[in-house]
């Protein structure tokens, strides 16, 4: 299959003002694409867009949980850049707390941003993606296919992304729209410093992690590589690849190891 050429294409990235979103914007621009960075934090999106010099980059304020804002943002991309060729559903939020200590409003908030935000933006961009035989990218996590202690809502949202977009991929195959699900493990981005606790407030609890943190730049480079090569899935990092294999072949062993490594996540 021919490599996808991104030169002159228009790419939309949600959560585009954050660490991975900004890195993705830069990497797509390196590959010749124009970039629209959507973010609820408009100031961060502007800063990220201003740093992109290779191609045209714009910033648009958008709360992905609001369907009308998604519709308006996609319309503005059409007006300012043109038809959309690539949609990257990157906006996300994490929480860390035992379920027994978690207000259900926190779970709803995580699902609204991580899952429904991706569905909202995809629904609005889909007509153009169908016309352009484009690609939908979903930024998931190893938590999308394996348990992750202290993150019931986060893991649920990522599992939901895998189920929804894996199925959507089969529906769009005949229309030649690609769907890539990318699953990094631990990435060194501001998201890990803006995680909410069980009460919905930002927590200062030190985050446990396994293995070496990946840089957002390295993750972005691999994701753009996968888009160009029309990959369907991408598991990033040694920890992520080991997690997939171990959870598939010996789930009880994976759970014991994961619980041991991340036990401090449940400390109060």
Told to judge if 154 belongs to the known catalytic residues of this protein, a careful annotator would answer: yes
Task: Give the separation between CA 165 and CA 137, rounded to whole angstroms.
Answer: 9
Dihedral in degrees, nearest 10, Cα atoms 221, 227, 230, 232: 90
Residues in contact with 167: Cβ distance below 8 Å, sequence separation at least 6, in sequence order = none
Phi, psi of 148 (to 5 degrees): -140, 110
Cα 37 to the center of its chain, rounded Å: 13
Task: Give the separation between CA 261 and CA 210, rounded to whole angstroms.
Answer: 7
Positive or negative, the CA dihedral 51, 55, 56, 58 is negative
CB 54 within 8 A of CB 34: no
Question: Which DSSP string do the residues of 60-94 spell out, in sequence order?
Answer: EE--TT-HHHHHHHHHHHHHHT-S-SEEEE-----
Task: Give the separation between CA 198 and CA 213, rounded to whole angstroms.
Answer: 25
DSSP lists the bridge partners of residue 10 as: 34
- The single residue of 28, 115, 116, 154 carrying the catalytic annotation is 154
Positive or negative, the CA dihedral 49, 37, 94, 237 is negative
Q: Which residues are catalytic?
A: 154
């Amino acid at each position: 299959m021919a490599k996808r050429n991104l030169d002159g294409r228009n790419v939309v990235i949600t959560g585009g003002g954050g660490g991975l979103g900004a890195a993705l914007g830069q990497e797509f621009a390196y590959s010749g694409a124009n970039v629209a960075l959507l973010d609820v934090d408009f100031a961060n999106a502007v800063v990220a867009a201003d740093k992109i010099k290779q191609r045209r980059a714009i910033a648009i304020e958008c709360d992905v949980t609001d369907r009308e804002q998604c519709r308006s943002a996609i319309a503005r991309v059409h007006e300012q850049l043109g038809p959309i060729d690539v949609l990257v559903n990157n906006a996300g939020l994490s929480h860390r707390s035992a379920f027994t200590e978690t207000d259900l409003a926190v779970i709803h908030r995580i699902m609204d941003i991580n899952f429904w935000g991706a569905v909202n933006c995809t629904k609005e961009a889909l007509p153009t993606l169908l016309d352009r035989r484009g690609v939908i990218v979903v930024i998931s996590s190893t938590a999308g296919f394996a348990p992750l202690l202290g993150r019931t809502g986060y893991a649920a949202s990522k599992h939901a992304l895998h189920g929804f977009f894996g199925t959507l991929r089969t529906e769009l195959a005949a229309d030649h729209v690609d769907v890539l699900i990318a699953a990094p493990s631990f990435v060194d981005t501001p998201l890990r410093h803006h995680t909410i606790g069980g009460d919905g407030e930002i927590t200062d609890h030190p985050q446990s992690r396994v293995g070496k943190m990946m840089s957002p730049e390295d993750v972005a480079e691999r994701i753009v590589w996968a888009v160009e090569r029309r990959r369907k899935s991408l598991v990033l990092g040694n920890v992520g690849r080991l997690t997939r294999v171990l959870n598939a072949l010996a789930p009880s062993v994976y759970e014991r190891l994961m619980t041991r490594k991340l036990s401090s996540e449940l400390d109060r």
